[in-house]
Amino acid sequence: MEKSHPTGWKHQKVSLMTGSPDNPMGLPPRSMSDAPQRQHIRDESEPKESDDSLLQRVSERDQSAMTKLFDRYGGMVYSVALRVLRDAGSAEDLLQEVFFQLWRNPTSFVSSRGSLGAWLLVVARNRAIDILRRRRPMESVDDYPLSSRENLASEVERGAMMQKVRSVLTVLPPEQRNVVELAYFEGLSQTEIADRTGDPLGTVKTRIRLALMSLRKALQA
Amino acid sequence: MNGGIHIALEDLAFYAMGNLRDEERTRIHAHLQSCSECREELSAISGDLTALAVSVEQHPVPPAARQRFLDSLGTEVQAESVSETAPGVTPFPKPASRTAWLPWTIAAALGIGAAGLGVKVNTLREQLHNQSQLVARAQEESVRSQRVVNLLKSPGAQRATLTAAKTPVEPTGHAIYLADRGELIFQGNNLKRLPQGKAYELWVIPANGTAPLPAGVFVPDQSGDASVVMPPLPPGIAAKAFAITIERAEGSAAPSSTPVMSGVPTQGD
């Protein structure tokens, strides 16, 4: 039964009693590859304005175009921020920061260097790592093109890419996956990963190389 | 020229992620200036790494966060439009001489600029008034919210569990969970005392089948009462159940024992 919260939200109430539940703990451990599989469905009949067109309108200070970009990519940016920072409030702040950066300086994104979606993800991830590690903002990587094969503006392509990456992460040896996660989502250097895992630096290098090669192979498939 | 020696794949990846010491980053940056192959590889690796960002569990933007963005955007647009509507300097008729018109132009520009500033000051004053009212309302709500939190957390508050007559007192817990916002309040009563170095830990069991989310570590007081108010939880995770396990005093990232209490939600989605 659903009940509407006065604020419009739906909430759950539960009473906890002693006794054995319906095995609520019989679940696999949380990890990147165990994230729920979601089917993205979009109404294909709905006209979809291109990123370039929306960006052009943003540069002309069109608020509705900015809202469309926020709705198109906000979830992705928020999700990666939440994955790195593990705090909803901090992730929300970062979300605001990333999109206001785009609003105030839409030319900071150069379309010849890759897709807007990929660029926003890189900006969000890098800024989240800066916050996590309390370090000065890292040098931007957008001096170099971002080779992204998929169009992240398309939910269908985004969903397919998500499936591909999750599949490859699932079959990676756990130690390889761990190295990737420590590097990408915690921002650790190779030496820091070696210290954290207790493995020799050479082993860490080999693992990240093998993991990257598997990822490349899956994305090219 | 780079003598045919290239940067290793993993080093390029750490360069792309920004996870390098300054000297290492400088070395690779210098190499990239003269090596198109490595630049190409860096581009490809950066794209591959972005796929990792796409693979994370997707959470919708909380509606409140979206509204906050739209509100801030609206305020900014309004401020921009105010500065744009302030009159600018209009072209002056072609002067008879190169210098005779100059004082008049400056005077006119100053006059028009002052008028524009006057408009802007009035608008800003109005905005300030509106913002002040919003702040006052927010403060009232904040005070009320803080009182609710204080009541729930206060060790001095009297607590009672009401049961049917002649029913033995059992440990009970009540959780109120707002999945959309990841907000939770838990109140436990008549909980059993724990050995030294142990604590209870509350878990949200997601309906989507992912692993239990830690939702607060607590130790009941001498009366067996305890509460958890607004533990850090990600928004948008509907719960299929809630459970409590006994863990070490500092808590665990994943449950290490079978639940001593559990329950399933009776309302919400």
| Per-position DSSP letters for A107-141, written without gaps between them | GGS-GGGS-HHHHHHHHHHHHHHHHHTT-PPPPPS
Residues 100-119 of A with CB under 8 A from B: 100, 103, 114, 118
Please write the tens of the pLDDT for every residue from B46-61: 888 998 999 999 999 9
Query: Would the pLDDT of A24 be above 60?
Result: no
Query: Would the pLDDT of B118 be above 80?
Result: no
**Facing residue for B210 by CB, picked from A30, A76, A188:** A30
Query: Would the pLDDT of B103 be above 90?
Result: no
Q: Is the Cβ pair B242, A122 closer than 8 Å?
A: no
Query: Would the pLDDT of A142 be above 80?
Result: no
pLDDT at B134: 73
pLDDT at B268: 54
The whole-number average pLDDT for the span A154-163 is 82
pLDDT at B77: 80
Q: Is the Cβ pair A27, B205 closer than 8 Å?
A: yes
3-state secondary structure (DSSP) of residue B246: strand
Supply the DSSP string of B170-231, one letter for each residue: --EEEEEEEGGGTEEEEEEESPPP--TTEEEEEEEEETTS-PPEEEEEE---TTS-EEEES-
Helix ranges (DSSP H) in chain B? 9-17, 22-34, 36-54, 63-85, 102-153
Question: In this prediction, what percent of chain A has a pLDDT beyond 90?
Answer: 51
User: Which of A57-71, A173-187, A202-216, B21-35 has the least mean pLDDT?
Assistant: B21-35
Rg, Å, chain B Cα set: 31
Q: Is the Cβ pair B258, A25 closer than 8 Å?
A: yes
pLDDT at A18: 52
d(CA B120, CA B139): 28
Tokens found for residue B145: 């919210």
Contact of B62 with A92, CB cutoff 8 Å = yes
Within 8 A of A183 by CB-CB distance, chain B residues are 13-14, 17, 19
pLDDT at A45: 42
Query: If you average pLDDT over every residue of chain B, what do you get?
Result: 79
**Confidence band for A214, pLDDT divided at 50, 70 and 90:** very high
Contact of B159 with B142, CB cutoff 8 Å = no
pLDDT at A137: 58
**Facing residue for B241 by CB, picked from A9, A24, A76:** A24
Angle at the Cα of A76 (from A70 to A77), degrees rounded to 5? Answer: 70
Higher pLDDT, B148 or A41: B148
**Confidence band for A17, pLDDT divided at 50, 70 and 90:** low
**Confidence band for B204, pLDDT divided at 50, 70 and 90:** very high
Query: Would the pLDDT of A66 be above 60?
Result: yes
What ipTM goes with this model?
0.74
pLDDT at A44: 45
Within 8 A of B8 by CB-CB distance, chain A residues are 205, 209
In terms of residues, how long is chain A? 221
Q: Is the Cβ pair B65, A124 closer than 8 Å?
A: no
pLDDT at B59: 94
Q: Is the Cβ pair A88, B211 closer than 8 Å?
A: no
Angle at the Cα of A35 (from A185 to A162), degrees rounded to 5? Answer: 75
Nearest CA in chain A to B15: A141
Q: Is the Cβ pair A15, B170 closer than 8 Å?
A: no
Query: Would the pLDDT of B116 be above 70?
Result: no
3-state secondary structure (DSSP) of residue B239: strand
pLDDT at B236: 86
pLDDT at A146: 57
Residue B132 contacts by C-beta under 8 Å, 6 or more apart in sequence? none
Q: Is the Cβ pair A187, B21 closer than 8 Å?
A: no
Query: Would the pLDDT of B172 be above 70?
Result: yes
Residues 13-72 of A with CB under 8 A from B: 13-22, 24-25, 27-30, 32-36, 38, 61, 63, 66-67, 70-71
Query: Would the pLDDT of B166 be above 50?
Result: yes
d(CA A92, CA B69): 10
Q: Which of A14-28, A99-113, A196-210, B234-248 has the highest mean pLDDT?
A: A196-210
The whole-number average pLDDT for the span A138-159 is 63
Burial class (CB in 10 A: 0-12, 13-18, 19+), A91: buried
pLDDT at A15: 57
**Facing residue for B18 by CB, picked from A22, A24, A141:** A141
Q: Which of A74-78, B16-20, B133-137, B149-153 has the highest mean pLDDT?
A: A74-78
Higher pLDDT, A189 or B104: A189
Higher pLDDT, B102 or A172: A172
Contact of B215 with B151, CB cutoff 8 Å = no
pLDDT at B47: 87
pLDDT at B230: 83
Contact of B185 with B153, CB cutoff 8 Å = no
Residues 200-259 of B with CB under 8 A from A: 203, 205, 208-212, 232-235, 238-245, 254-255, 258-259
> Strand B239-248's sheet: what is its strand order?
B213-218, B198-206, B239-248, B261-263, A12-18, B172-178, B183-189, B226-229
Q: What are the C-alpha distances in Å from A29 to residues A32, A175, B130, B205?
A: 10, 15, 49, 12
3-state secondary structure (DSSP) of residue B111: helix
**Facing residue for B239 by CB, picked from A12, A164, A169:** A12
User: What count of CB pairs under 8 Å joins A to B?
Assistant: 300
Query: Would the pLDDT of A50 be above 60?
Result: yes
If one counts every other C-beta atom within 10 angstroms of the C-beta of residue B154, the result is 11
Q: How far is B22 from chain A (nearest CA, A)?
A: 10
Tokens found for residue A75: 């979830």
Higher pLDDT, A163 or B1: A163
Q: Is the Cβ pair B20, A189 closer than 8 Å?
A: yes
pTM of the model: 0.54
CA B102 to chain centre: 55
